[in-house]
Amino acid sequence: MATPSLLLSRRDLDFQLYDWLDVGALTRREHYAEHSRETFDDALDLSERIAQRHFATHNKKNDQEEPWFDGERVHTLPEAAEALGVFAESGLLAASMDEEFGGMGMPHTVATACFSYFHAANVGTSAYPFLTLGNARLLCAHGSREQVDTYVRPMLEGRFFGTMCLSEPQAGSSLADVATRAEERPDGTYRLFGTKMWISGGDHELAENIVHLVLARIPGGPPGVKGLSLFIVPKHLVGPDGGLGERNDVVPAGLNHKMGYRGTTNALLNFGEGARHRPGGEAGAVGHLVGEPHRGLAYMFHMMNGARIGVGAGAMALGYTGYLKSLRYARERPQGRPLSAGGKDASAPQVPIIEHTDVRRMLLAQKSYVEGALGLLLYCSRLVDEQCSAATEEERARAGLLLDVLTPLAKSWPSQWCLEANSLAIQVHGGYGYTREYDVEQHYRDNRLNPIHEGTHGIQGLDLLGRKAVMHDGAGLRALGEAVAGTLERAAAAGGEAERLGAPLRASWERVTTVTARLWEKGDPAVALANSSVYLEAVGHVVVAWIWLGQFLATGSGDDDFLRGKRQAARYFFHSELPRTGPQFDLLESLDTVALETDPAWL
């Protein structure tokens, strides 16, 4: 019998993909007609095999021997380059891209499941291709045919990698304060001058070239975010024949040294310093405008929204592998004696710690977080597939509305609660878990980045309550409410325990709608948004309870240990987690202004 994977549970992936989300039904649509369950399973098998053999094997070394900069070059592990070469040869990078761009045309739901293996195995090395994929998708949506041919095809082949360059040292997440400028030249190119900070994958020699997508200002444009334009700035210029030309004027000034996620270079980049590289004999990084001037942020959101869901997927995967490792440890580690037997007979044999109720509680909590997060992310990916392949424009638009309102939750809920799963995994290991000899310590440090990057937890709260919940006169929230109502109807029809679990979910969703209205009834954004992070957390728990009710229903009458475990995790979430939202909704309904009214001098 094969040893179960400690990256993800394949049984859970199969259950969520096929039994709950019915991904197989997509193959009856023209968009995915060339695929079948066999091709999906082959892709999952291949992903697990490559992740286990080529990514997981250098995960700890990635952490211990992080990339370094010698003043000229950035150095990375040879093992990372080897793993990325195998990944590129597999074709998985282009799995969900349309065939016209050299992709496999696979459903996004299956691709998300496949890529989760790589996040779980080695989040540092896997970040390079996943940033690249987001870059490629943006250019396919908004770039010219020439830009797609020049940059996207080599990226999907794994020869070029991509980044997104938004933040600057003085601006951080405040993109209205971006100062990098782009000056047009007679040949239609631009020269960029400025500094970008926190650029993941910003410099390395893991690929032939790096394609930077850079937000900058064209002089004379409007102030704030409305004046931002988007540019392709390659590390090496690319000739008409696709060959690499001279080095562009974009160089690393240094690398940031992170608490975790150390395998991914994170750079401070200078554009246009003109000291070491002067393409065409002139200072300034050569850039190519994407789309129209001053629409850069709108284009960049195409990549940012995908990256936010990707951050949630990475957080889920780190939580999931930590859960599986703590579960194995709990089954193997003997310590103590059961309380039911008095626990004081020193002559009695010790029992595995999984026999202790509090350890089972911690494992059950982890299970509810990571399997719930996986469900949320696969559901969001299924909405992307609906946008691509649903029969009617109405169905596609509805999927888009749902995805818009769920994106901040898909980013932040796994980032918060799968980090908590990692904390519990350390606790299950006891003192051993706090040492570098065990993986769970690194998983926690790696995961701690996820509530920060691609829009902090607070930014996601502002997005959900300040934009997504009220956009189009609340259409997105209504669409989500209709989806929740559909699951509640099925639970009521099923009767029994499913109907009983549905009752608190129905009440919680009613509070989502009434509290949202209460927060906005005075039309004062400062008061409404003062507790937006609390709103994000409360709504997130309600949404994940809905995900769990759907999974509970999908277990049907099955009675093996896996399905029993599914139902028990759902019970745990409804009994121990959903009730957390009651006090949060009470706080929100009171229009609490304690934080808003706190003078900075008092802190």
User: Which residues form the catalytic set?
Assistant: 454
- Residue 194 phi, psi dihedral angles, 5° rounding: 160, -175
- Tell me the C-alpha distance between 59 and 295, whole Å: 39
∠ Cα 308 309 313 (to 5°) = 120
* Number of Cβ within a 10 Å radius of residue 486: 12
Two tokens at 466?
């300040």
Two tokens at 359?
């350890």
For residue 438, what are the CA distances in angstroms to 94, 159, 296, 365?
34, 34, 44, 21
Contact of 58 with 80, CB cutoff 8 Å? yes
Quickly tell me which residue has 């095999």 as its tokens.
49
Two tokens at 116?
């989760």
For residue 97, what are the CA distances in angstroms to 26, 94, 104, 130, 315?
16, 5, 6, 13, 23
Helix (H, G, I), strand (E, B) or coil at 216: strand
For residue 389, what are the CA distances in angstroms to 28, 73, 181?
10, 45, 40
- Tell me the C-alpha distance between 91 and 47, whole Å: 11
* Residue 217: strand pairing partners: 181, 228
Three-state DSSP string of 38-96: HHHHHHHHHHHHHHHHHHHHHHHHHHHCCCEECCCCEECCHHHHHHHHHHHHHCHHHCC
Contact of 142 with 299, CB cutoff 8 Å? yes
- Residue 514 phi, psi dihedral angles, 5° rounding: -70, -40
Two tokens at 450?
């996820």
Residues 6+ apart with CB under 8 A from 282: 191, 274
- Tell me the C-alpha distance between 116 and 105, whole Å: 18
In DSSP notation, 479-522 reads HHHHHHHHHHHHHHHH-HHHHHHHHHHHHHHHHHHHHHHHHHTT
* Number of Cβ within a 10 Å radius of residue 286: 25
For residue 468, what are the CA distances in angstroms to 379, 460, 514?
18, 10, 16
Two tokens at 53?
């053999």
- Tell me the C-alpha distance between 222 and 173, whole Å: 19
Residues 6+ apart with CB under 8 A from 577: 365, 368, 541, 544, 545
